[in-house]
Chains A and B, each alone.
Chain A
């Protein structure tokens, strides 16, 4: 069934016609191409990489970037796109986020002209897939401690180390890998098939099952000097990418929350208990629906405000921390409340709720855990960095 949107507070009136058209394309695409197969994809642990080219042709990959075949959307349009994609599945949204915000964005921002020309058109069209390697087995929340190293040998960089939890890892034609050099942390483009570079998939995930997650290993992996991103240096370079992706997450999770809420709303109206009355007629049930729609509405306004600020060039990383932290927690709460309202059916894969709930546990952890974003906000208001 076609999704009609969730708009309690007439927030649609704040979107331009073009923004709504972008949302409509994304909404239709998700209803047509993702909803019919998400249950199977999840159960079989299959990613959606076969949709890459179609999404590329529609402009979904690197949508808020300009040039090289990218759609040049505003950040609000990009946010609405993420919202609709994650209404489908957080795993698909991860695929699109990584491609756009964590691979295309750093190449666009820190890359050489040759790197941009080589990779951006192919990444935008979905002909090539990318991944982003920052996290390591021993360094998750604290990437500053990374052990992966790159040393210059003649005109080549030689990489050694391991990355883990890498979305799209084994699918990627190109990996953006962050490594320590004598000169600080730098980004490298490592192509699939480079000797000394291997990947292995992580199995047994009970979250993000419709997304591929891998480990990357570098053992005397040689890449030429032209593969280093020349214009980004230090940890702030990968963190700059994460700010882009987190912005998209802040919008995306609203979609997951909407899907849970809307499923629960419809279910409680149809499901009857006690004297043939819909369970939605009970005050305790209505309270949960009221809480959810209120929280979704607040999250929509937060996301919209952040989107407008970003379009004005005024959104900074600490703002994005508030957006990511609040909206992910909101979506998780909605998933749990909705799960409850469906009773036993709530745990079944015929309904999307348990899948969103499990996915959102990852979304809470990746791209800066809830704790870390709390501490970023804490630092902003106190001037004291508690995580260091």
Chain B
């Protein structure tokens, strides 16, 4: 089974972000970058599927030259080889362009399964995987919490809202967008880190991947959300105020 995992390099999660003058993107000079979190889970899922079913895991990354470090990390964790669509200005690309480039690189590989993260930690559109499936002409399922493959059929568990799940059976090939937490991430072993150096990274230009085409949506302005201070006083007895507080912490502040 050949699995392609699309991984993106994004600013590290605890970064102090500064907006570029012109408000088109963030200042990248002092940032450290890492693999997009859901993509790390997608990679892990691919590696586990390979361990079960055999085959090959190919890491695919669209990004500037610096993304090579994230690609090598994927190779160190166990991807067999990688494809890097080298494009310096990916922030100017819309989802359709990103998906076109990914599809352009994927088509000739004819994989059995394509995994992406549910969404990217920087832009957070959550669309690349879905549009990609459309361009490849294969079925897709999103927010995947579990994957099993039996006799060429895929059975996946999707996360819905409010603690509900949905099981979907679908044929291969397919695209799945993976939710963080689906599995337990492995460490890159020191042997894996050393071996990564010997693995193939095929570098493609955007043109090699069929070109990005013209953008159908554009990023207008990047800004920090305005801070509005609202105080809430919970009314009622201890039990009901505690319940209200937990509700807020869970669904508004999302720390629980």
Q: Which of B18-26, B186-194, B231-239 contacts A (4 or more CB under 8 A)?
A: B186-194
User: Measured between alpha carbons, how far is A364 from B174 in the docked complex, in Å?
Assistant: 60
- Which A residues lie within 8 Å of B187 (CB)? 25, 28-29, 58
| B73, B188, B194, B197: the one within 8 Å of A73 (CB) | B194
Asked whether B189 lies within 8 Å of A58 as measured between CB atoms, the reply is yes
| B-contacting 9-mer, from A14-22, A88-96, A263-271, A324-332 | A14-22
How far, in whole Å, are A4 and B69 apart by their CA atoms in the complex? 18
Name B185's closest neighbour in chain A (CB-CB). Answer: A28
Residue B8 lies at the interface, judged by CB distance under 8 Å to chain A: no
Report, as a range, how many residues of chain A touch the other chain.
10 to 19
Q: Are B190 and A22 in contact (CB under 8 A)?
A: yes
Interface membership of B81, Cβ < 8 A: no
B-facing residues in A3-40 (Cβ within 8 Å): 4, 17-18, 21-22, 24-25, 28-29
Kindly list chain A residues whose C-beta atoms are within 8 Å of the C-beta of B197.
18
Cβ of A72 within 8 Å of any chain B Cβ, yes or no, is yes
Quick one: closest B residue to A17, CB to CB?
B69
The answer to whether A71 and B190 touch (CB under 8 A), given A18-B197, A21-B76, is: yes
- For residue B76, which residues in chain A have a CB less than 8 angstroms away from its CB? 21
Q: Which interface residue of B73, B193, B197 has the most chain A CB atoms within 10 A?
A: B193
From residue B32, how far is it (CB to closest CB) to chain A in Å?
9
- Let me know if B189 and A21 touch, CB within 8 A: no
A57: CB under 8 A from chain B?
Answer: yes
A59 within 8 A of B: yes
In the complex the two chains form, is B194's CB within 8 Å of A71's CB?
yes
User: Contact at A21–B73, with CB atoms within 8 Å?
Assistant: yes
Among A25, A57, A60, the residue within 8 A (CB) of B193 is: A25
Answer yes or no: B72 CB below 8 A from chain A CBs. yes
* Complex CA–CA separation, A60 to B72 (angstroms): 20
Cβ of A77 < 8 Å from any Cβ of B? yes
Q: When the two chains form their complex, are residues B188 and A21 in contact, meaning their CB atoms are under 8 A apart?
A: yes
Whether B194 contacts A72 by the Cβ 8 Å rule is yes
With beta carbons under 8 angstroms apart, the residue of B72, B190, B196 that contacts A59 is B190
Say yes or no: A25 contacts B72, CB within 8 Å. Answer: no
A179 within 8 A of B: no
Q: Is A63 at the interface (CB under 8 A from chain B)?
A: yes
> Which of B69, B72, B190, B194 contacts A58, CB < 8 Å?
B190
Write the nearest CB–CB distance from A139 to chain B, whole angstroms.
36
Least distance between A186 CB and chain B CB atoms (Å)? 32
Enumerate chain A residues within 8 angstroms of B69, measured Cβ to Cβ: 17
In angstroms, Cα B16 to Cα A4, docked, is 13
**In the bound complex, CA of A7 to CA of B91 (Å):** 30
For B193, what are the chain A residues with a Cβ–Cβ distance below 8 Å?
Answer: 18, 21-22, 25
The closest CB in chain A to the CB of B72 belongs to: A17
**Residue with the highest number of chain B CB atoms closer than 10 Å, among A21, A22, A72:** A21
CB-nearest residue of chain A to B197: A18
CA distance A58 to B190 in the complex (A): 6
Nearest CB in chain A to that of B76: its residue: A21
Inter-chain CA distance A318–B2, complex, in Å, is 54
Would you call A63 and B72 a contact (CB within 8 A)? no
Q: Which of A58, A63, A77: most chain B Cβ within 10 A?
A: A58
Contacts of A73 in B (CB 8 A): 190, 194
**Within the complex, what minimum Cβ distance (angstroms) separates A320 from chain B?**
23
Bound: A71/B189 CA distance, A: 9
Residues from chain B with a CB closer than 8 A to the CB of A4 are 14
- Residues from chain B with a CB closer than 8 A to the CB of A17 are 69, 72
CB distance from A90 to the nearest CB of B (A): 21
Contacts of B190 in A (CB 8 A): 22, 25, 58-60, 63, 71, 73, 77, 81
* Complex interface bits, B63-80 against A, C-beta within 8 A gives 1, otherwise 0: 000000100110010000
- Whole-angstrom distance between the alpha carbons of A29 and B196 in the complex? 20
Residue of A nearest to B188 (CB): A25
Which residues on the B side are within 8 Å of A25 (C-beta)? Answer: 187-190, 193
Q: Flag A66-106 by CB within 8 Å of B: 1 or 0 each.
A: 00000111000100010000000000000000000000000
Q: Which residues of the other chain, B, contact A81 by a CB distance below 8 angstroms?
A: 190
Closest residue of chain A to B187, judged by CB?
A: A25
In angstroms, Cα B196 to Cα A24, docked, is 15
* CB of A350, distance to nearest CB on chain B (Å): 23
Residue of A nearest to B13 (CB): A2
Interface string of B193-210 (1 = CB under 8 A from A): 110110000000000000
A residues in contact with B189, CB < 8 Å = 25, 57-59, 71
**Would you call A71 and B188 a contact (CB within 8 A)?**
no
Enumerate 17 A-B pairs (CB-CB under 8 Å) in ascending A order. A18-B72, A18-B193, A18-B197, A21-B72, A21-B76, A21-B193, A22-B190, A22-B193, A25-B187, A29-B187, A57-B189, A58-B189, A59-B189, A59-B191, A60-B190, A71-B189, A72-B191
If A58-B187, A60-B190 are given as contacts, then 7 extra A-B residue pairs at C-beta distance below 8 Å, sorted by A number, are A4-B14, A18-B72, A21-B76, A25-B190, A57-B189, A59-B190, A81-B190
In the complex, the 6 A-B pairs of residues with the closest C-beta atoms, listed nearest first? A59-B190, A71-B190, A25-B187, A58-B189, A21-B193, A59-B191
